Amino acid sequence: MVYRSLRTYESVQLADGFYGYIWKGNGNNCNTFLFVDVLRGERPHVIIDPGYITNELGENCFDDLAKAVGDDGFKVDDIGLIINTHSHLDHCQANELIVRKSGAWVTLSQEEDEFRRTSGERLNSMLGAKSPEFTPLFYLKEGELNLGAKNKVRLEVFITPGHSPGSICLYWPDTRILVTGDVVFYGSIGRTDFPGGGLSQLKKSIDKLSQLDVECLVPGHRTEYGNIINGKTNVQRNFQAVKLFL
């Protein structure tokens, strides 16, 4: 794995054509992932969870992300599709910016989109934050999600509620990478006290994920223990450990 360190993001190539941008800033923001040169046409990149534009400490998250992506030789203007694991602001605030720049499509699960337009919207306004405006082009459903010509990247979508009602995780069988959003972290699980969250749902979701053959687990946030979990044994051990919280 090749790590490149920037002030607030650490870039890591996780597989051929798949990059992680690991948030290292002081305030809150999510990790972002990028499939490069996947889609046909002028905007071939697919981004997972672009994160905040600016976080609660005033860090310019999206500007730094654009720089980090640029340092790897790619442009955020060439993003054609945004996948959101869920609709919390720290994962999707920058959707609106990317859509404005490049006309990218957005997708998330239908359950999450309904939550976003109701309780999620109320949660944001309670927090004094504006919800980003975007219209999903299609909804993610449990099952296969094939990206690009000749199904270049074949993913499996899992609907994994508990942290948010329509959270999704993405499994990439060819590389055995699992993108978990805020469902499971290194040594920890996602909060279940947000509207639409629930511990029993999270338990079911994590049980389902722990059945998969995973070599590399990439979560939506770092914890005090770390970020990316490498190696099947370590991933299994992490599932066993986090089940103690459930």
For 162: left if phi > 0, alpha if psi spans -120 to 50, otherwise beta; the answer is left
Q: Based on the shown chain and the rule CB under 5 A, indicate whether residue 116 belongs to the binding site for Zn ion.
A: no
Question: CB-wise, 2 or 126, nearer to Zn ion?
Answer: 126
Amino acid (1-letter code) at residue 25: G
When asked if residue 10 is in the footprint of Zn ion (CB under 5 A), the reply is: no
User: Which residue from 88, 116, 221, 222 is in contact with Zn ion, where contact means CB under 5 A?
Assistant: 88
Closest approach, Cβ 220 to Zn ion, in A, equals 7
Closer by beta carbon to Zn ion, 183 or else 235: 183
Can residue 182 be called a binding residue for Zn ion (CB under 5 A)? Answer: yes
Q: Decide whether 50 or 148 has the Cβ nearer to Zn ion.
A: 50
Closest approach, Cβ 182 to Zn ion, in A, equals: 4
- Cβ proximity to Zn ion, 195 vs 231, nearer residue: 195
Instruction: Kindly state the smallest distance separating residue 91's Cβ from Zn ion, in Å.
Output: 6
Please tell me the distance from the alpha carbon of residue 91 to that of residue 50, in angstroms, as a whole number: 6
Stretch that binds Zn ion, among 17-25, 88-96, 135-143, 209-217 (CB under 5 A): 88-96
Neighbours of 218 (CB within 10 A): 24
Distances (CA, A) of 187 to 9, 177, 191, 239, 241: 21, 18, 13, 8, 7
DSSP string, 5-51: E-SSEEEEEEETTEEEEEE-SSS----EEEE-S-SSSS--EEEE---
Which residues of this protein are in contact with Zn ion, per CB under 5 A?
A: 88, 182
